[in-house]
């Protein structure tokens, strides 16, 4: 299975909004509403920010939102804050009942 495609990096200024895309196929992202997004700070374990395309776990800021269109899912962070600077990974359930991650996107808050 191939990794889902994400941009290597995105950046934004405090207060702005950014969107990270995650492109797969009809056998993963496009076929199921089981896309999740993880935030990872350096040296730390990943933390789930969005699950099932657009649901936020308890405790995650409402500034984080998710969506999906066809084979591409997106994570939007509004009102950027310095603490949002991290690596972000998407993940999807697949038709083989496995899971696949995206290559990761480094978010820089300018």
Partner 1 sequence: QVQLQESGPGLVKPSETLSLTCTVSGDSVSTYYWSWIRQPPGKGLEWIGYIHHSGSSNYNPSLKSRVTISVDTSKNQFSLNLSSVTAADTAVYYCARYAPSAKYLDYWGQGTLVTVSS
Residues of the shown chain interacting with partner 1 in the complex, contacts defined by CB under 8 A: 1, 3, 34, 36, 38, 40, 45-48, 51-52, 57, 89, 91, 93, 96-104
Minimal distance in Å, beta carbon 13 to partner 1? 26
- Find how far residue 25's CA is from the centre of its chain: 16
For residue 61, count CB atoms less than 10 angstroms from its CB and return exposed for 0-12, middle for 13-18, buried for 19 or more: middle
Category of 97 on φ-ψ map: left (φ > 0), alpha (ψ -120 to 50) or beta: left
Q: Which of 16/26 has CB closer to partner 1?
A: 26
Q: How far is the CB of 62 from partner 1 (least distance, A)?
A: 18
The answer to whether 91 and 50 are in contact (CB under 8 A) is no
Name which of 13 and 45 has its Cβ closer to partner 1.
Answer: 45
3-state secondary structure of 50: strand
Decide whether 57 or 79 has the Cβ nearer to partner 1. Answer: 57
Minimum distance of partner 1 from residue 20's CB (angstroms): 13
Min dist. Cβ of residue 15 to partner 1 (A): 28
68 versus 79: smaller Cβ distance to partner 1: 68
Q: Give the bridge partners for 102, in sequence order.
A: 4
């Amino acid at each position: 299975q191939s990794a889902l495609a994400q941009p290597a990096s995105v950046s934004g200024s405090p207060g702005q909004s950014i969107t990270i895309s995650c492109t797969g196929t009809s056998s993963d992202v496009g076929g199921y509403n089981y896309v999740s997004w993880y935030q990872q700070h350096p040296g730390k374990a990943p933390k789930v920010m969005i699950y099932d395309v657009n649901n936020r776990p308890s405790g995650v800021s409402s500034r984080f939102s998710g969506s999906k269109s066809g084979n591409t899912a997106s994570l939007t962070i509004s009102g950027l804050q310095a603490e949002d600077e991290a690596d972000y990974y998407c993940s999807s359930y697949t038709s083989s009942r496995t899971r696949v991650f995206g290559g990761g996107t480094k978010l820089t808050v300018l």
